[in-house]
Chain A
Amino acid sequence: MFRTAFMGMALGPLLLVGLLFGWQSVNTQFENAMIHQREVGRRAADNIISFFNAAEDYLLAAILFGDLKNVTPQRQYQIISQAINHKHARYKNMYYDIAIIHCRKGILAYASLYGESSVACFLTHFRVEEFLPYICSGRRYYGPVSFDELTGEPLMTIAIPMVDLRSGEVWGALAVNIRINTIWQIVGDIKVGRSGKVYVVDQQNRVVAHPDPSVVLRGTLFNVPEKEGQARGLSGDPSILVIDTLSIEGQTFYLIAEQPLKEALSFTVTMLLQIFIVILLALLVSLLFALWTERHMIKPIELIAKQALRIGAGDLSQRIELERQDELGRLAGAFNTMAAELDSTIASLEQEVAERKRTAIELEAVNSELEDFAYIVSHDLKAPLRGVSQLAGWIAEDYADAIDEEGRNHIRLLLNRVKRMHGLIDSVLEYSKAGRIREKVTDVDLAALMQEVIEELSPADNVRIVVENCPQSIAAERTRLKQVIQNLVDNAVKYMDKKKGLVEIDCASEAAYWRFSVSDNGPGIARKYHEKIFHIFQTLSPRNQTENTGVGLSLVKKIVETFGGRVWLKSQEGKGSTFFFTWPKKTGENNEK
Chain B
Amino acid sequence: MRNNKPVLLVEDDQVDAGSVQRAFKILKITNPLKLVSNGEEALDFLRHPENGKPCIILLDLDMPRMNGIEFLRIVKQDSRLKRIPVVVLTSSQEESDKVESYNLGVAGYMIKPPDYLQLIDVVSTIDLYWTLSELPDDE
**Is B50 interfacial (CB-CB < 8 Å)?**
no
Q: Is A390 touching B18 in the complex (CB atoms < 8 A)? A: yes
Q: What are the residues of chain B within 8 A of A389 when measuring CB–CB?
A: 114-116
Quote the shortest CB–CB distance from A35 to chain B (angstroms). Answer: 117
Interface size class of B (residues with CB under 8 A): 10 to 19
Give chain A residues whose Cβ lies under 8 Å from the Cβ of B116: 389-390, 393-394
Query: Once the chains bind, are B92 and A394 in contact (CB under 8 Å)?
Result: no
In contact, B114 and A385 (Cβ under 8 angstroms): yes
Bound CA–CA A418/B115 (angstroms): 10
Which residues of B have CB within 8 Å of A418? 114
In the complex, which residues 18-63 of chain B have their Cβ closer than 8 Å to any Cβ of chain A?
18-19, 22, 62
CA distance A387 to B116 in the complex (A): 9
Q: A376-411 interface mask toward B, CB cutoff 8 Å, 1 = contact, 0 = none? A: 000100110111011101100000000000000000
B91 contact set on A, CB distance < 8 A = 379, 382-383, 386
Q: Is the CB–CB distance between A391 and B15 below 8 Å?
A: yes
Rounded to whole angstroms, the CA-CA distance of A418 and B112 in the bound complex is 15
Q: A375 contacts which chain B residues (CB < 8 A)?
A: 94
**Does B100 belong to the interface (CB within 8 Å)?**
no
Per the bound structure, the CA–CA distance linking A422 and B115 in Å amounts to: 11
Chain A residues 352-384 with CB under 8 Å of chain B are 375, 379, 382-383
Cβ of B16 within 8 Å of any chain A Cβ, yes or no, is yes
State the CA gap A422–B62 with chains docked (Å).
Answer: 18
A386 touches which of B15, B22, B94 (Cβ 8 Å): B15
Interface string of B1-27 (1 = CB under 8 A from A): 000000000000111101100100000
Complex CA gap A375/B119 in Å reads: 23
Nearest Cβ on chain A to B92's Cβ, whole angstroms: 6
B13 and A383 contact, CB distance less than 8 A: yes
Asked whether A419 is an interface residue with its Cβ less than 8 Å from the other chain, the reply is: yes
Interface string of B98-139 (1 = CB under 8 A from A): 000000000000001011110100000000000000000000
Using CB atoms, name the residue of chain A closest to B19: A390
With A379-B92, A394-B22: A422-B114 Cβ-Cβ less than 8 Å? yes
CB distance from A572 to the nearest CB of B (A): 39
CA distance A418 to B92 in the complex (A): 18
When distances are taken between beta carbons in the complex, the residues of chain A under 8 Å from B16 are 386-387, 390
Residues of chain A contacted by B114 (CB below 8 angstroms)? 382, 385-386, 389, 418-419, 422
- Shortest distance in angstroms between B1's beta carbon and chain A's nearest beta carbon? 23
What residue of chain A has the Cβ atom nearest to residue B116's Cβ?
Answer: A393
B93 to chain A, nearest CB (A): 9
Specify which chain A residues have a CB less than 8 angstroms from the CB of B22 in the assembled complex.
394
- In the bound complex, residues from chain B placing their C-beta under 8 Å from that of A387 are 13-16
Report the separation of the CA atoms of residues A383 and B116 in the bound assembly, to the nearest whole angstrom: 13
In A152-178, the 8 Å CB interface with B consists of none
Query: Across the interface, which residues of B come within 8 angstroms of A386, CB to CB?
Result: 13, 15-16, 91, 112, 114
Most chain B CB neighbours (cut-off 10 Å) among A375, A383, A385: A383
Contacts of A419 in B (CB 8 A): 114
Report the nearest A residue to B113, measured CB to CB.
A386
Q: Contacts of A393 on B, CB cut-off 8 Å? A: 115-117
Minimum CB–CB distance for B124 against chain A, Å: 16
User: In the complex, which residue of chain A has the Cβ closest to the Cβ of B93?
Assistant: A426
A111 to chain B minimum Cβ distance, whole angstroms, is 159
> CA of A391 to CA of B16 in the docked complex: distance in angstroms?
10
Q: Which residue of B lies closest to A419 (CB)?
A: B114
CB distance from B58 to the nearest CB of A (A): 16
Given contacts A379-B91, A379-B92, A419-B114, contact A390 B15 (CB under 8 A): yes
Instruction: Report chain B residues within 8 Å CB of A394.
Output: 18-19, 22, 116
CA distance A383 to B19 in the complex (A): 13
Q: Hey, what's the 0/1 contact readout for B69-108 against A, CB within 8 Å counting as 1?
A: 0000000000000000000000110100000000000000
Q: Closest Cβ of chain A: how far from B75's Cβ, in Å?
A: 23
With contacts A382-B91, A383-B62 known, what are 4 further pairs, Cβ within 8 A? A389-B116, A390-B116, A390-B119, A418-B114
Can you list 30 A-B pairs, Cβ within 8 angstroms, ordered by A? Answer: A375-B94, A379-B62, A379-B92, A383-B13, A383-B62, A385-B114, A386-B15, A386-B16, A386-B91, A386-B114, A387-B13, A387-B14, A387-B15, A387-B16, A389-B114, A389-B116, A390-B15, A390-B16, A390-B18, A390-B19, A390-B116, A390-B119, A391-B15, A393-B117, A394-B18, A394-B19, A394-B22, A394-B116, A418-B114, A419-B114
